[in-house]
Structure 1
Amino acid sequence: MRDVKLPEVRKAEILDASMKLFMEKGYLQTTTKDIINQVGISRGLLYYHFKNKAEILYILVEKSVNPLIVQMKKIVNNMSLPPTEKLNQFLQTTIIQEDTITEEKITLQETVHLEENRYMMDRFYHKFIEKLLPLFTKVIEEGKEQNVFQVDFPYETAHFLVTGYVFVSNDLKLKNLGLAEMNVYLQAFKGVLAKTLGIEASVLDE
C-alpha cells in the first residue's frame, strides 16, 4: 500500500533529507535522484512539491532566516522600547554569534556562495528586503512622530537603508569575516544611520 502523507509533511521530509545530503555530499554532488532515494518517493512526487534542487535550497535558506524575522517583529512591536533601542536591537539580531553557528548554517553559507546560485540569492535578498522594509519603516515613523528622528520620507529612507544593509551584510557573511571585522561594518552602518536620522551615533550604542 502506497504511503500517503499530507503535502506539508512530505515537503518537510524532502527538505530535511536534502539538507542532510547537502551536508554529507555537498550541494553540487547531491542529485535529485539522491534526494528521491533518501526520502523513498517517486520523481514525479518530488517535482510536484519542488521545481528543482535550486528551489529546495531557496526554501531551506528562507526557512533558516524565519526566526530572525520573528525576532525582529517582536522588537518592532515592543511598545516599551524607544525607537533608538529598537534600531539597536534590530541591528544586533543580524550578527551571527559564534555559539549559534551550526553545521547546517555553514553548509548553507558555502552553498549560496557558489556562482551558480548567485541569481537565486539575489532573488532571495529582494524578498528578504520586502519583509524587513515595513518593520524598519515602522520604527522610523515612530521615531519621527516622537521627534526623535529628523526624516522627511520614512519609507523611502528605510528602503535605501535596508537594501544597502541586507546586500552588504550578507556579502560580508559569505566572505566568512570574523565577528570583529563584521562589527567594524556594523559600527560604520550605525554612523550612516545616525546621520540619516539626525541623531548622535552614540545613541545607538547605549
Structure 2
Amino acid sequence: MFKNTKEKILSKAEELFCLKGYEKTTIENILESCEIGKGTFYYYFKSKESLMNEVIENSIGSFTDDAKKIVNDKNLSALEKFKQLILGQTNSMDNKEWMLNELHKPENSKMHQKSITETILHLTPLLTAIVEQGISEKTFNSKFPKETVEILLFANQYIFDTGIIVFTVEEYLIKAQAFVYSMELLLGVKSGTFNYILEHFENTLLNRGELNEKELQ
C-alpha cells in the first residue's frame, strides 16, 4: 500500500489530523498508528510542525496531479475541464477542514502564505492551458489568458480565504456573485456559464449551517 515508511507516516498523520485535529494529535498517536519508534519518526521529520508542512505540500501536489489528468484529457471540452478542475479544488479543500483551521492560525502565517503561493503557481499553467483551449474552441475570449488566470486566482484566494479577511455570510454571498460575474466578463463567456460555482458555494454554506434556504430566496 505504501511505497516507503515516510509515505506511511504522511498518510497516517493526515488521517489523524482529520479525525482528531492537529492540536489533539500527538506524535505518540502517529507512532502507534504507524507502528514505528521515535527514532524512525525523527529520521524523517524534525517535528510535528514539519510533518504538517509536508502534508500540506503533498496535498497541493496531489491535487495538481489530478488536475493534470483533467487538462490532458482530449475527450473533454475546455468548459468541461474548467468545471471539473474548479469543483475538484473546492471539494478537496472542503474535505480538509483541519488543514484550513491550522493555516488560519497567526503562528502559521508563513505556512499559510506558502500554501497560497504554491497553489497559485501550480494552478496557473493548468488553468491557462484550459483557457487557451477554450479560445481555440471559441468558447472563451481573452487577450491575456495567463494574466487573467492569475488575477482570478489571486482574487479567489484573498476574497474567500477566511484566514485573511473575514466577512459576514451576506458579504460573502455578494462577493461570490461579483466574482463569478467578473470571471465571466474576463474570460468572455456567456452570462450564467459559471453559475455552478455559486451553487457550490451556497450549498457549502447551507451544509455548514451558516446559511438557510430563506436567505437564498
Q: TM-score, normalised by structure 1?
A: 0.69
**Structure 2 counterpart of 1:128:** 119
Q: Structure 2 CA distance, aligned partners of 1:165 and 1:24? A: 28
Q: Structure 1 CA distance, aligned partners of 2:25 and 2:88? A: 32
**Structure 1 counterpart of 2:137:** 146
* Cα displacement (A) at 1:75: 3.0
1:72 has 2:67 as partner:
yes
Where has structure 1 moved over 6 Å in runs of 4 or more? 180-184
**Structure 2 counterpart of 1:192:** 182
Q: What's the CA shift string for 1:51-91, capped at 9, x where partnerless?
A: 33222112223344555434433332233333233323332
Q: Structure 2 CA distance, aligned partners of 1:184 and 1:165? A: 14
Q: Identify if the C-alpha distance between structure 1 residues 82 and 40 changes in structure 2 by more than 3 Å, giving closer, same or farther.
A: closer
Residues 20-35 of structure 1 mapped to structure 2, 5 A cutoff: 22=17, 26-28=21-23, 30=25, 32=27, 35=30
**Structure 2 counterpart of 1:3:** none
Q: Structure 1 CA distance, aligned partners of 2:97 and 2:193? A: 33
Q: Identify if the C-alpha distance between structure 1 residues 185 and 50 changes in structure 2 by more than 3 Å, giving closer, same or farther.
A: farther
Q: Structure 2 CA distance, aligned partners of 1:130 and 1:82? A: 23
Q: Identify if the C-alpha distance between structure 1 residues 151 and 25 changes in structure 2 by more than 3 Å, giving closer, same or farther.
A: closer
1:157 has 2:148 as partner:
yes
1:93 has 2:88 as partner:
yes
For 1:163, give the aligned amino acid. Answer: F
**Structure 1 counterpart of 2:79:** 84
**Structure 1 counterpart of 2:98:** 107
Q: Identify if the C-alpha distance between structure 1 residues 185 and 61 changes in structure 2 by more than 3 Å, giving closer, same or farther.
A: farther
**Structure 2 counterpart of 1:62:** 57
How many residues are matched?
193
Identify the structure with bigger relative contact order (alpha carbons < 8 Å, sequence gap 6+).
1
Higher deviation after alignment, 143-152 or 23-32: 23-32
Report if aligned partners of 1:18, 1:35 keep a CA contact under 8 Å in 2. yes
Q: TM-score, normalised by structure 2?
A: 0.67
Q: What's the CA shift string for 1:11-67, capped at 9, x where partnerless?
A: 133324534654676534555566557653244x43331233222112223344555
Unaligned runs of 5+ in 1: 1-5
Q: Identify if the C-alpha distance between structure 1 residues 95 and 21 changes in structure 2 by more than 3 Å, giving closer, same or farther.
A: closer
Unaligned runs of 5+ in 2: 197-217
For 1:199, give the aligned amino acid. Answer: V
Report if aligned partners of 1:190, 1:201 keep a CA contact under 8 Å in 2. no
**Structure 1 counterpart of 2:36:** 40
Report if aligned partners of 1:87, 1:204 keep a CA contact under 8 Å in 2. no
Report if aligned partners of 1:83, 1:143 keep a CA contact under 8 Å in 2. yes
Q: Identify if the C-alpha distance between structure 1 residues 21 and 84 changes in structure 2 by more than 3 Å, giving closer, same or farther.
A: closer
* Cα displacement (A) at 1:185: 5.2
Of 7, 12, 15, the residue aligned with 2:10 is 15
